[in-house]
Amino acid sequence: MKRVPTVELSDCVLCELCTDLCPEVFVINTNDYVQVTDLDTYPQAEVDDVIKNCPADCITWEEQP
Ligand code: SF4
3-state secondary structure string across 7-59: ECCCCCCCCCHHHHHCCCCEEECCCCCEEECCCCCCCHHHHHHHHHHCCCCCE
Instruction: Say which DSSP state 65 is in.
Output: -
Closest atom, ligand 1, to C-alpha of 53: 1
Closest-CA residue to 60 (of 2, 40, 52): 52
Q: Is 18 in the pocket of ligand 1 (CB under 6 A)?
A: yes
Task: Report the pLDDT value the prediction gives residue 38, as an integer from 0 to 100.
Answer: 97
Top CATH class, 2-64: alpha beta
Can you give the pLDDT at residue 65? 83
pLDDT band with cut points at 50, 70 and 90 for residue 47: very high
Q: What is the pLDDT of residue 1?
A: 85
How do strand 2-7 and strand 34-36 relate by DSSP bridges?
A: unpaired
User: Averaged over 2-25, what is the pLDDT?
Assistant: 97
User: For ligand 1, is residue 9 a contact (CB within 6 Å)?
Assistant: no
Q: Find the mean pLDDT for residues 30-57.
A: 97
